[in-house]
Amino acid sequence: MDRTFVMVKPDGVARGLIGEVVSRLEGKGLKLVAARFEKLPEKRVMDQYREHLEKPFFPSLRHYITSGPCFLMVWEGKAVVRVVRALVGATDPAEALPGTIRGDLAMDIGRNVIHASDSPESAEREISIHFSPDELVAYRRIDESVLYE
């Protein structure tokens, strides 16, 4: 099975949407293998968003992402990066389809509730930034035999 990194951002936490996000991902059949609720330290913010460090919007992004706690998660499943990205919807909530997390729950690109890795390579990198291997829990969901061929 593949793994991906997902984070409910400070706006999603402040709005009480952690349960909604987790419910949608679990309902799809994905397996939560790690989770942590915390205010992100500066070092990990810089590592997480390294490709944006020189962009003009980075200072406001850094301020926002450290403005409150986030809920960090690792999810497991077949083609999980692609599946989660489809559930999350377009980065800009105005373009996100109804039925997606951003399409249903977000209004503004700067407060779009959730982050999800955009590729298997990003997922591996982001998971390693926020979780050590011993924090990832292996177990079987009782319904795995009916979820996958």
pLDDT digits (tens, 9 = 90+) for 42-92: 999 999 999 999 999 999 999 999 999 999 999 999 999 999 999 999 999
Q: Does domain 2-134 have CATH number 3.30.70.141?
A: yes
Which two three-digit tokens encode residue 99? Answer: 């039925």
Q: Which of 52, 63, 115, 130 is catalytic?
A: 115
Name the residue with tokens 């009782």: 142
CB 10 within 8 A of CB 68: yes
Instruction: Tell me the pLDDT tens digit for each residue of 81-136.
Output: 999 999 999 999 999 999 999 999 999 999 999 999 999 999 999 999 999 999 99
Task: Give the gyration radius of the chain's Cα atoms.
Answer: 15
Tokens of 54: 């020189």
Residue 100 vs residues 30, 94, 114, 134: alpha-carbon distances, Å: 16, 12, 11, 32
- Using alpha carbons, list the distances in angstroms from residue 72 to 6, 96, 109, 148: 6, 22, 20, 26
130 is catalytic: no
Spell out the domain ranges in the chain.
2-134
Note the residue count of the chain.
149
Beta-carbon contacts of residue 127 (< 8 Å; ≥ 6 apart)? 3, 4, 5, 34, 74, 117, 136
pTM above 0.85, yes or no: yes
